[in-house]
Chain A
């Protein structure tokens, strides 16, 4: 029996959560991860990539999603190839899961566009990493 250990030690559940997060990303990414330009990018407002990178850290996005937006046990991967801006914006303002809401009083629309630009700018990950082949 796990009893309260399960509640107190988030790390114990890390393995399962990581798989769950990976699946969320896979579903979100299914819409977005196509070769070439990110779908929905045309409808996204122009943003300042550098400011987005700064805000991503200073507004606490990294806390759950990692400093490279790569995701982790607390939040899914956000980039590169983020979900369409409309879905991205809607979820941030009114999240349906565990994510805390970032209302316009916390992150302005302009800042949101900057963060999105940062996510779009992230490089693709390396391929054929030997350590992941075993």
Chain B
């Protein structure tokens, strides 16, 4: 119930007391009887003025005003059916397991409903120490679970804080589901806090260039419909982040008439397959090709996507490069072939393919030379063009192709496989099988070369990256493991869930919270999750560790601690050399790029937040026992961190 203008009820009094804390405190503790609160602070700060003394009649009047009951239409101390309870009902129908958030006063209505009315279950609140942690935990969770985790924040600061994670989500087609608290009604805003920092006219404007859709519902029924619509849009291919404003007064005021509210049924949209005629044309080219090459991005949504890609590769006996989680890396056709030798190149979710088709150099004069054969036909199958915002140049440099199919790759694969099978005669099959054997031999040879490559620097200190990867692999390979960070080509990623792909987003500062979100999704399956985490990344949001320990998310974190933002070290060296003053950089050390003096004690950092930790580990011989101890702790449900000091790259 709204308060009458110009009146002061008890709620108004409490607001005033909170806003003017000093004055209020002075009034409450003023030793001099009869000094009104409004004058008390002035009296305290003045040069001992004569205190104002009230007459007994004035004092009685004041006391009566403060203690007398207000007229019913002005009194509003309790509410029995707040709007945010209905909002929780809506969120429950969307079956969110978790909601990640840093608490905020303007979000208090929905927060309390989630806890009390919703029982802090489906969704369960995940406490995060920063909004970018919340967003990235949700992004990592989606990468494994395949459905969104809700995120709750407020404007403007909370949404500002989360922008890099939203950027990562947009870039990786991750359907972040973002709820943002705002207070639209001027009368419902607290006089100072909400006007000063918690209210906007168009909250989504902060993030709109990165959003697939947003809405600002002014009523509860509108909220229900937009909440379901937002979920549907986020999950429609190509997927992307959505934002829904939660009006705080809508959440805190009572529901006018619950019988008039309803929650629409969620029906997800099937992904769009490419045009059948174009698919048939692609099949003809692929079956006739002598040296086809499949270049795949991280196209697969689930295990079925991996099975389909394997089926296409085996049908054609064609090599597959990339594929993220959609191609088992030890498959005989995985990693074979090359762009310069291919006569038909099929790109799945590869963006513009410019970086595939051209060899580019980062020298003083930037050069790009096309490296395909003149006769090569280039085909793309992607839904990328269906979701583009102009301000972000992620589209890549424009590359000429011969056939461009708009469609979701995984949804298109069944018809493409079928079309290829129809065209393959028994004679053609024999040719393809012979080609497949050659490719298998080639990929086996490449693997042997890689194994030999790993032997160099094997005993080096700091520890070489291959040594770290293979020591870890030896400890986890017989368990049901899942990488929640980048991996190593020698690990046997035989299942979709073994790797993360790019689905969680990225960017410096994202690796730790993304891995935590992913590990949370794996937890119910009892998988051993491993995160190779760079030191520079860890220092962006180390507070994410606390969320992992607090919520009992088992995770093995292996620091790739090279004590630098090493990529930037290399960039500075490059520029200095280009200007022929490389020695200066080399001798002095590049300023602003190293993380030394002091070296960070990551083990101590992790222990401070309740994790098991060891390190720094610099001798590769110390790795195995430390790994065994750490894995034992993780299998008991803990977070374990090993601070390993590694070679720069």
Contacts and interface: CB of A to CB of B under 8 A. Distances in A.
7 contacts: A5-B505, A8-B171, A15-B486, A18-B450, A18-B489, A23-B449, A63-B649
Interface in A1-56: 1-12, 14-16, 18-19, 21-23, 25-26
B173 A72 contact: no
Given A4-B171, A63-B648, A126-B455, A16 B322 contact: yes
A101 B363 CA distance: 9
B464 interface: yes
A64 to B, nearest CB: 6
Contacts of B292: none
Given A2-B298, A5-B506, A14-B486, 12 more contacts: A1-B383, A19-B450, A21-B453, A23-B449, A60-B573, A60-B582, A63-B566, A67-B457, A70-B464, A126-B459, A131-B473, A134-B477
B455 A1 contact: no
A16 B321 contact: yes
A32 to B, nearest CB: 14
Contacts of A14: 486
A110 interface: no
B578 A131 contact: no
Contacts of B502: 2, 5-6, 9, 12
A132 B455 contact: yes
B440 to A, nearest CB: 16
A26 B382 CA distance: 35
B456 A68 contact: yes
B83 interface: no
Interface of A: 1-12, 14-16, 18-19, 21-23, 25-26, 58-60, 62-64, 66-75, 77, 95, 97-98, 100-103, 105-107, 125-127, 129, 131-132, 134
A22 B450 contact: yes
B524 interface: no
Given A22-B449, A98-B361, A105-B580, A66 B586 contact: no
Contact of B238 (A1, A58, A101): A1
Contacts of A60: 569, 573, 582, 585-586
Given A19-B450, A62-B648, A132-B454, A3 B489 contact: no
B170 A3 contact: yes
Contacts of A2: 171-172, 297-298, 349-351, 502
Contacts of A10: 567
Nearest to B461: A67
B595 interface: no
B487 interface: yes
A75 B574 CA distance: 13
A70 B573 contact: no
Contacts of B573: 60, 63, 100
Contacts of A100: 363, 573-575, 577-578, 582
Interface in B318-341: 321-322, 329, 335
Contact of B361 (A3, A23, A25, A97): A97
B449 A3 contact: no
A36 to B, nearest CB: 19
A93 to B, nearest CB: 11
B384 to A, nearest CB: 5
Interface in B272-330: 297-298, 321-322, 329
Contacts of A73: 465, 649
A106 B585 CA distance: 10
B453 A77 contact: yes
A133 to B, nearest CB: 8
Contacts of B13: none
B487 A71 contact: no
Contacts of B384: 1
Contacts of B647: 66-67, 70, 72
A5 B172 contact: yes
Contacts of A66: 457, 460, 464, 647-649
Given A66-B457, A98-B361, A101-B578, A131 B486 contact: no
A131 B489 contact: no
Nearest to B649: A72
Nearest to B534: A11
B15 interface: no
3 closest A-B pairs by CB:
A70-B457, A70-B456, A3-B171
A134 B472 CA distance: 13
Nearest to B472: A131
A67 B489 contact: no
A62 B460 CA distance: 13
A131 B470 contact: yes
Interface in B528-583: 534, 566-567, 569-570, 573-575, 577-578, 580-583
Contacts of A126: 455, 458-459
Interface in B182-199: none
B394 interface: yes
Given A59-B583, A71-B453, A103-B580, A12 B506 contact: yes
Interface in B391-419: 392-394
Contacts of A6: 351, 355, 502
A64 B456 contact: no
Nearest to A15: B489
Nearest to B477: A134
B451 interface: yes
Contacts of A4: 167, 171, 392-394
A49 B611 CA distance: 45
B168 interface: yes
B370 interface: no
A5 B171 contact: yes
B421 to A, nearest CB: 28
B456 A106 contact: no
Contacts of A105: 580-581
A126 B464 CA distance: 14
Contacts of A11: 485-486, 511, 534
A68 B463 CA distance: 11
Nearest to B395: A3
Contacts of A106: 577, 580-583
A21 B470 CA distance: 18
Given A22-B446, A22-B453, A59-B583, A3 B570 contact: no
Given A5-B168, A98-B361, A75 B649 contact: yes
Given A9-B506, A126-B458, A72 B578 contact: no
A42 to B, nearest CB: 24
B582 A59 contact: yes
B335 A19 contact: yes
A58 B587 contact: yes
